[in-house]
A and B are shown apart, each in its own frame.
Chain A
């Protein structure tokens, strides 16, 4: 039950966890971000997406910009006390007093083809069949429907997407021939939500413009 989805956008930021204060993007999309894009189109607790291959279609280029951001998250404790009080007095966050200017090194003009399949989870009921979910995904992707707008790493970088139907040729790859082989080093593979949200990494190697995630994982995954 495999699908192929062509995704592209003007900018993308797949933040490296080691460089996340002033965000620096990985060179290419992570399997985790690719899974998020598929889930934005179709997902149910009954299924889990697995990324098989990522085709890189555009040269890897970066651009930097700096923005004023807020240095705090909404506090749950303050919200609890405000609920008890029954008033929102003082619950606001004054952004000018909590400023952080942060740079982002983002990718520009990206396009990928995500090849993926899904497996059924133990939350699948009798009414869940693989055929049902695959046709739901294909129908939505074909018509441009999505549960929420998928994004390339962060929400300000929206992703356009198109289904690559079975048998149809892949979009052309604009990578120069000498750039089609690359070792991206250790990259985030995905976050293991079942085991206390641990991050799992893999050695991402691109061969002829394609990152074969399973082959890379077979080479050895680390925690």
Chain B
């Protein structure tokens, strides 16, 4: 394994959706998430982390602790029985482990074996302090750069589920899909290097792991096709690499360097500026442009466009 990451990073991820639902809201009947005050679309941090995990599980040999579906085996209990026949589970599970050194050894082992624990952290129910790992990588909510308009599309199916339905409805049923015709989303993230490389708090999140994370961010939507998602794609990933572990510049000043403009017939407009309300709605990536201000960058920060 390569060495733990010792540079702080911030990143800006732009991804878009065409005729799909990037992240359904369980509170609103699976409509796309919306900020009710601004009508900007939202994608939760956990939705993106799920896709990163899925990509890593699929594209590398790394193991993922929080797996989706039945990809990891179900022989959990069988393994237990096979290896530890004498353990009366419920009792002993709760007690372990009392001493801190043991707990630390446990977390270290979990970090070494599972990519997502190394990256995002995990809560281990140990009852002692060392049972919780904070990973170096942190996501915040993604937000669309302009308000989105969710559409509700009714669809029909030429078959019914039950016999009764078939009789009542003549063999046809109707369903609903929620889509966003187009939305460009912007997400911010952080890699706190000390949580990777610190002697006791570090998870050992390595340079290879970091490279895999960038790959995952670039390609995760390519392997997440489904009827609900429509066409989603990562459009731009901008990294701010700090020279030091603690960082060489304020995060917000770096994020402020990345701005988005609406483009109509070749002319750029500030988002939300006067007159943009009269422009036809954005429907493709080419209706936007992302600008990176590279001027006057204080030493020690490198902007990497991927």
**A20 interfacial contact with B, CB 8 Å:** no
> Which chain B residue lies CB-closest to A76?
B126
- Chain B interface SS verdict (over half): mixed
Which residues in A have their C-beta under 8 angstroms from that of B264? none
The contact size tier of chain B is 35 or more
Task: Tell me if A70 and B66 are in contact (CB < 8 A).
Answer: yes
Task: Tell me if A143 and B250 are in contact (CB < 8 A).
Answer: yes
- Chain A interface SS verdict (over half): mixed
Q: Once the chains are docked, how many angstroms separate the CA of A93 from the CA of B72? A: 8
**B149 interfacial contact with A, CB 8 Å:** no
Q: What per-residue 1/0 map shows which CB atoms of B224-249 lie under 8 Å from chain A? A: 00000000000000000000101111
Task: Tell me if A160 and B251 are in contact (CB < 8 A).
Answer: yes
Q: What per-residue 1/0 map shows which CB atoms of B26-37 lie under 8 Å from chain A? A: 110000010111
Take A65-B42, A66-B27, A144-B253 as given contacts and tell me if A74 and B117 are in contact as well, using a CB distance cutoff of 8 Å.
yes
Q: What per-residue 1/0 map shows which CB atoms of B79-114 lie under 8 Å from chain A? A: 110011001010011101100000100100110011
Q: A66-B25, A76-B97, A88-B63 are in contact. List 17 more A-B contacts (CB 8 A).
A: A65-B27, A65-B42, A76-B131, A77-B92, A78-B76, A79-B106, A83-B109, A90-B72, A92-B64, A94-B67, A95-B66, A95-B67, A148-B138, A148-B194, A148-B195, A149-B138, A162-B250
Contact for A79 among B74, B87, B109, CB less than 8 A: B109
Task: Tell me if A73 and B72 are in contact (CB < 8 A).
Answer: no
Q: What per-residue 1/0 map shows which CB atoms of A84-127 lie under 8 Å from chain B? A: 11001111111110000101000010000000000000000000
Which residues in A have their C-beta under 8 angstroms from that of B94? 77
Q: Once the chains are docked, how many angstroms separate the CA of A157 from the CA of B190? A: 12
Take A73-B124, A79-B110 as given contacts and tell me if A93 and B65 are in contact as well, using a CB distance cutoff of 8 Å.
yes
